[in-house]
């Protein structure tokens, strides 16, 4: 009986395998991904997304990067409003700066433009749709614009930059490689014969269901994340910490991709921009050269930023202006609009303030194109818009929603000096004054003995992590053009002169990634500077022989107890005191650990050792967002212009001011 079932089971198995093979072949032939991508719960069960799906950390962002253009559009909010004739529809295309890297949905360029509540000349509400996607390619933008034709936009706002213009970058975007059919249609329709996309999915085996199972699974995951996204509003992973855009460069960093100097017209994909204008010949297209960071760091006379050497970017701007005149484009050059301190992790990603300023400037041109009754009914004509040449780097105005009393915190220019020890209680560490007011007689004697034993009276050192490298902390005071004391703080020039040369010096004990443990480890010492067996701390004390030492150790391992941090800090303090130098402990503005345990430990040790405490946490409290970026760790950036109310609202400016005041206060007492 059992043996008689085998033939039947074998026949069933053969049929199953046969039908699976047939189904797989049909899947490869039909390639139903486009159809499947259009099936979406977005705009049906939950709202459409305000920007295209993109994310490297799906579980934290409730978002993921998908390779299906149809699914991208199906999940977007524009899909819910495709038949809304009561709105004036503007598509905003571009790179990650348009998509909004490190920006909340309400902080993106499109959102800031929508917040202005502009109306067209016929009374319709202007709605800006975020069509940005985080890769640098005009061809990618063109494919998105081609797909968006079915939404019948009234205007296109196209944000561009040199990296997106490079011909070699046009087809390098993964979203294009995985949508080769759509790319080929655009290339053929727009007669862009200079570009050829290698089709990696040209045979059945590369298009079968097994090969495409990841893409199919991503379509399902996108729907699942929609539930969590609609409930939380989170569509991007915001790291606790990120590195700010690089501002210092070596003298040999003069290359731009693989291009020679001078650039040739074929090096830029100007024909792709012109194809976009032809694709939407009957509506206005405003091409905007987006703001870039213009660094003032080392060798910045050679490079504007880590993307662009000056020679390449300057030639690109000239070629864009020439092309705008030749092709009759509406072109707005905003390249130098935003101050360098309003950029985040790259030279094209701006802060919310920088994005708001960009939106305000663009709205002025939008007003001329879409809202002015005298011009909006006229067929679009080419025009080049530029910023006034007399203000190449305008200063941002304070955000109107911030209370004026908070926007300009006051740090008193006059300093208080106490003749006896102040009450010092670690449990009430928040009440410790920002600026030290007392140096004990024992510490004054230690300072004098240290100088007699060879310490440098005009030298100080900084022990710290990435928040304390000279480019962001104190280094500006060795270059008079980098700071303005103003009348209120002119007295601080004396201490700047006294310690000249120490401010911009890059010591052996300050570096990104250092913490209280690594600063004591010989394994972390720079072998080019330090002797065998020296830790970064002992190496710095030997090299500089400082008489005063700032100690700012903010970085710590997550979930490690504060008492372990305390043990390392004790060793650091003891080592500095043994060298005959006066330590100044610095509290931090953030609370990444959640219980202010690090600041409380710092104050506890300062009280116990009776050493000066620079309580920066106290100074940062009146600042907008307490002087912190959206990552709640890095300080908001600003210039050391203490007579500028806007700059005085930023964390970095306030820290550099109050640190100098702290140094002045301790130095003044030590000289008595």
pLDDT in tens, 191-211: 999 998 876 555 555 666 666
Is the pLDDT assigned to residue 639 strictly greater than 90?
no
Long-range contact pairs involving 397-404 (C-beta distance under 8 Å, separation at least 24): 397/646, 398/645, 398/646, 398/649, 399/353, 399/356, 399/624, 402/624, 402/649
Instruction: Supply 296's token pair.
Output: 């003032």
Distance of CA 570 to the CA centre of its chain: 35
User: Residue 19: which H helix or E strand, with range?
Assistant: helix 6-30
Where does the pLDDT of residue 389 fall: very low under 50, low under 70, confident under 90, or very high at 90 and above? low
Is the pLDDT assigned to residue 315 strictly greater than 70?
yes
DSSP assignment of 284-303 equals -EEEEE-------STTTTTB
Please tell me the distance from the alpha carbon of residue 328 to that of residue 60, in angstroms, as a whole number.
45
Radius of gyration of the chain from its Cα atoms, rounded to whole angstroms: 30
Q: Which of 77-91, 121-135, 258-272, 533-547 has the lowest mean pLDDT?
A: 77-91
DSSP assignment of 597-636 equals HHHHHHHHHHHHHT--EE-HHHHHTTSGGGGB-TTSSSBP
Beta strands in 345-489 (DSSP E): 383-386, 456-464, 483-484
Single out the residue of 193, 196, 328 nearest to residue 274, CA to CA.
328
Is the pLDDT assigned to residue 408 strictly greater than 50?
no
At residue 313, the pLDDT reads 97
Where do we find the tokens 């990841």? 214
Is the pLDDT assigned to residue 392 strictly greater than 60?
no
Instruction: Supply 191's token pair.
Output: 């007669």
DSSP state of 57: -
pLDDT in tens, 11-50: 777 777 767 767 666 655 666 666 677 889 999 999 999 9
Per the model's pLDDT, the better-predicted residue between 243 and 177 turns out to be 177
- Helices 270-279 & 138-147, crossing angle to 10 degrees? 10
Single out the residue of 671, 451, 458, 438 nearest to residue 580, CA to CA.
451
DSSP state of 453: T
Q: Are the C-beta atoms of 534 and 497 separated by less than 8 Å?
A: no
User: Residue 181: which H helix or E strand, with range?
Assistant: helix 180-189
What is the mean pLDDT of the segment spanning 285-313?
93
Cβ contacts of 245 within 8 Å, gap of 6 or more: 293, 305, 306, 343, 344, 345, 346, 347, 349
Q: Is 499 exposed, middle or buried (0-12, 13-18, 19+ CB in 10 A)?
A: buried
Residues of the chain above pLDDT 70, percent: 86
Cβ contacts of 286 within 8 Å, gap of 6 or more: 155, 156, 157, 158, 330, 331, 332, 362, 365, 366, 369
At residue 239, the pLDDT reads 78
At residue 23, the pLDDT reads 64
Q: Are the C-beta atoms of 351 and 314 separated by less than 8 Å?
A: no
Q: Are the C-beta atoms of 617 and 582 separated by less than 8 Å?
A: no
Cα atoms found within 13 Å of the Cα of residue 652, Cβ hemisphere only: 26
At residue 391, the pLDDT reads 38
Summarize the chain as % helix, strand, coil (round to 5): 45, 10, 45
Please tell me the distance from the alpha carbon of residue 21 to that of residue 27, in angstroms, as a whole number.
10
Q: Does residue 222 sit in helix, strand or coil?
A: helix
Where does the pLDDT of residue 376 fall: very low under 50, low under 70, confident under 90, or very high at 90 and above? low
Single out the residue of 410, 361, 324 nearest to residue 622, CA to CA.
410
Q: Are the C-beta atoms of 79 and 158 separated by less than 8 Å?
A: no
Per the model's pLDDT, the better-predicted residue between 341 and 267 turns out to be 267
pLDDT in tens, 139-177: 999 999 999 999 999 999 999 999 999 999 999 888 998
Please tell me the distance from the alpha carbon of residue 377 to that of residue 355, in angstroms, as a whole number.
29
Per the model's pLDDT, the better-predicted residue between 383 and 442 turns out to be 442
Mean residue pLDDT of the chain comes to 86
Q: Are the C-beta atoms of 93 and 131 separated by less than 8 Å?
A: yes
Where does the pLDDT of residue 398 fall: very low under 50, low under 70, confident under 90, or very high at 90 and above? very low
Is the pLDDT assigned to residue 311 strictly greater than 50?
yes
What is the mean pLDDT of the segment spanning 552-580?
83
Is the pLDDT assigned to residue 501 strictly greater than 80?
yes
Please tell me the distance from the alpha carbon of residue 91 to that of residue 142, in angstroms, as a whole number.
12
pLDDT in tens, 445-494: 999 999 999 999 999 999 998 788 898 899 999 999 889 999 999 999 99
What is the mean pLDDT of the segment spanning 403-417?
49
């Amino acid at each position: 009986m059992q043996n008689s079932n085998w033939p039947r089971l074998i026949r069933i198995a053969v049929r199953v395998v046969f039908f699976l093979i047939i189904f797989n072949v049909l899947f490869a032939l039909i390639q139903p991904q486009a159809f499947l991508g259009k099936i979406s719960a977005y705009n049906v069960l939950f709202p459409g997304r305000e920007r295209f799906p993109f994310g490297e950390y799906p579980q934290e962002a409730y978002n993921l990067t998908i390779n299906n253009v149809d699914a991208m559009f199906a999940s977007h909010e524009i899909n819910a409003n495709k038949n809304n004739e009561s709105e004036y529809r503007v598509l905003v295309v571009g790179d990650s700066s348009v998509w909004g890297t490190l920006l909340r949905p309400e902080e993106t360029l499109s959102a800031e433009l929508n917040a202005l509540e502009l109306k067209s000349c016929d009374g319709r509400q202007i709605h800006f749709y975020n069509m940005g996607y985080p890769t640098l390619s005009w061809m990618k933008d063109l494919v998105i614009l081609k797909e968006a034709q079915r939404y019948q936009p009234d205007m296109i706002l196209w944000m561009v930059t040199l990296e997106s213009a490079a011909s070699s970058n046009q087809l390098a975007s993964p979203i294009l490689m995985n949508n080769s059919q759509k790319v080929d249609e655009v290339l053929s329709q727009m007669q862009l014969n200079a570009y050829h996309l290698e089709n990696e999915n040209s045979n059945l085996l590369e298009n079968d269901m097994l090969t495409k199972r990841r893409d199919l699974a991503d379509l399902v995951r996108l729907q699942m994340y929609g539930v969590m996204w609609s409930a939380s509003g989170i569509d991007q992973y915001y790291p606790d910490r990120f590195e700010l855009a690089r501002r210092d460069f070596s003298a040999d960093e003069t290359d731009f991709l693989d291009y020679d100097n001078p650039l040739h017209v074929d090096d830029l994909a100007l024909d792709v921009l012109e194809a976009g204008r032809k694709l939407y010949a009957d509506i206005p297209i405003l091409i905007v050269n987006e703001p870039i960071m213009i660094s003032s760091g080392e060798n910045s006379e050679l490079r504007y930023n880590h993307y662009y050497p000056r020679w390449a970017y300057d030639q690109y701007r000239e070629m864009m202006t020439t092309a705008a005149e030749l092709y009759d484009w509406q072109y707005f050059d905003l390249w130098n609009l935003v101050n360098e301190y309003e950029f985040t992790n790259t030279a094209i990603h701006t802060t919310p303030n920088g994005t708001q300023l960009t939106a305000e400037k663009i709205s002025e041109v939008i007003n001329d194109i879409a809202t002015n009754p005298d011009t909006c009914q006229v067929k679009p004509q080419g025009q080049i818009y530029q910023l006034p040449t007399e203000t190449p780097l305008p200063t941002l105005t304070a955000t109107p929603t911030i209370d004026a009393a908070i926007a300009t915190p006051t740090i008193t220019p006059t300093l208080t000096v106490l003749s006896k020890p102040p009450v010092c209680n670690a449990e009430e560490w928040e009440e410790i004054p920002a600026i030290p007011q007392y140096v004990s007689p024992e510490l004054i004697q230690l300072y004098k003995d240290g100088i007699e034993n060879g310490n440098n009276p005009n030298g100080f050192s900084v022990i710290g992590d990435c928040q304390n490298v000279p480019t962001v902390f104190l280094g500006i005071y060795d270059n008079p053009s980098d700071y303005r004391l103003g009348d209120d703080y002119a007295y601080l020039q004396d201490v700047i002169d006294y310690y000249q040369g120490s401010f911009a010096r890059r010591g052996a004990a300050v570096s990104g990634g250092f913490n209280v443990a690594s600063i004591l480890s010989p394994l972390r010492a720079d072998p080019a500077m330090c002797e065998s067996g020296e830790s970064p701390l002992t190496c710095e004390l030997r090299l500089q022989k400082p008489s005063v030492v700032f100690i700012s150790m903010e970085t710590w391992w997550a979930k490690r107890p504060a008492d372990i941090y305390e043990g390392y800090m004790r060793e650091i303090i003891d080592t500095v005191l043994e060298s005959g130098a006066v330590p100044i402990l610095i509290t931090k503005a953030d609370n990444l650990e959640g219980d202010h345990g690090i600041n409380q430990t710092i104050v506890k040790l300062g009280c116990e050792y009776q050493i000066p405490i620079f309580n920066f946490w106290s100074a940062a409290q009146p600042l907008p967002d307490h002087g912190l970026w959206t990552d709640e760790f890095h300080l908001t950036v600003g210039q050391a212009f203490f007579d500028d109310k806007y700059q005085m609202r930023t964390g970095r400016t306030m820290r550099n001011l109050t640190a100098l005041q702290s140094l002045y206060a301790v130095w003044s007492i030590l000289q008595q």
